[in-house]
Structure formats: C-alpha cells, structure tokens
Amino acid sequence: MNRIVAIAILAVGLAATALAGAGAASAHATRIASDPVENAELTQSPARVSATFNEALQPEFAAMTVVGPDGNLWSTGAPEVSGAVISVGVRPLGPAGTYTANYRVTSADGHAISGSWSFSLTAAGTGTPGPSATTPSETSGTSGTSGDEMPVWPFMVVAVVIVGAAAVWAVRRQT
Ligand SMILES: [Cu+2]
C-alpha cells in the first residue's frame, strides 16, 4: 500500500502545481488611471483619451474606441500603445451626454484585458461623428474577456484519473 500512497501524493502534488501555475498566470495588467478620469464632466472635447495600466502592455491587438450618446464612434485613428498607456485620438465632440471609452489590450503575460469607462460632455460641441459604433470586444470575436482565464477543471480531471489509475494498478498487483 505504500506505493499507492506515494502515487496519490504525487498526483495531488502535480494538481497543486498546476493550480498554482494557473493562479500566477491570472495576475495580469489592471487599469490604474484614465484621462479623462471616470465620470469627468467636460465642457470641451479632449484631443485624446488614454488609459494607464500597472504594467507595460504588448502593442499587438490593441483596440480603443470612444462611443457617444448617439451610439456613434467619436474616436479617430488607430490606438497607440506606449509602455503602460493606450490612447486614441478623439474628434471634436458633438451632442452633450455620456461618452464611453472602450479598450482591449494585451498584458505582458499575453492575456487580453478589456474594459471601459465613461465621462460626460456638459456642453454640446459642433463636431460630426464617425460611423455607428461596435465596441472592441464585440468586434474581436473569440478573444473577449471570457476567454482570458485558463480553466482549472482539466487539471482536476487529470489528477483524478492519475489517482484512479494508480489505485487500479496497485490492486491488480496485489492479486
Ligand atoms: Cu494575466
């Protein structure tokens, strides 16, 4: 029976290692600041909006949009990633109301992070909007927030199978 105990301990150890690995991998970039700040009340259009994270971002697959109260895009041009900051240009704004900045960035660990924040324009501007908006997470298809955490259950299944197989093997050897 010593053998089966040893194998069970080994299997539990492997599962624990896998779980620890999955936990460490989930420590990805988080947004620590934005410009304009969340819920800012602006009387004039900002030239750009930006979000700052707690670590440098990967420049690949970055997306950022600003969507107005009219449902149209008010951001313009490609988003720019510089170190821990992503930003995008903004047209002169139009209707007063709530504008939402949406972003999707890639952490140093390869995880896609998406989110949004809003600010409001209190005095209507004279700008003209871009096309009707779809947020980055809607256009990105398979790589939204839902796919960015590694599932734990496969490791548990593997651990159970290893323990079960070891038990069967040990019992067979004794008969
Ligand atoms: Cu991560």
Whether 143 has a pLDDT exceeding 50, the answer reads no
Q: 31 pairs with which residues across the strands?
A: 53
42: CA distance to ligand 1 center in Å? Answer: 33
Residue closest to 132 by CA, chosen among 63, 74, 93, 79: 74
pLDDT (tens digit per residue) in 104-118: 999 999 999 999 999
Q: Is the CB of residue 81 less than 8 Å from the CB of residue 57?
A: yes
109: CA distance to ligand 1 center in Å? Answer: 5
pLDDT (tens digit per residue) in 2-37: 776 666 667 666 666 565 555 544 568 999 999 999
Whether the model clears a pTM of 0.85, i.e. scores above it, the answer is: no
pLDDT (tens digit per residue) in 71-105: 999 999 999 999 999 999 999 999 999 999 999 99
Residue closest to 39 by CA, chosen among 109, 102, 112, 121: 121
Residue closest to 121 by CA, chosen among 61, 53, 36: 36
Residue closest to 74 by CA, chosen among 53, 47, 52: 47
Q: Classify residue 13 by burial, with Cβ atoms within 10 Å: 0-12, 13-18, 19+.
A: exposed
pLDDT (tens digit per residue) in 32-69: 999 999 999 999 999 999 999 999 999 988 999 999 99
pLDDT band at 147 (very low <50, low <70, confident <90, very high): very low
108: CA distance to ligand 1 center in Å? Answer: 8
Q: Is the CB of residue 31 less than 8 Å from the CB of residue 53?
A: yes
170: CA distance to ligand 1 center in Å? Answer: 40
In the prediction, which pLDDT does 13 show? 63
24: CA distance to ligand 1 center in Å? Answer: 8
84: CA distance to ligand 1 center in Å? Answer: 15
171: CA distance to ligand 1 center in Å? Answer: 42
46: CA distance to ligand 1 center in Å? Answer: 31
31: CA distance to ligand 1 center in Å? Answer: 13
Q: Which residues contact 104 (CB under 8 A, 6 or more apart)?
A: 61, 62, 63, 64, 112, 113, 114, 136, 137, 140, 143
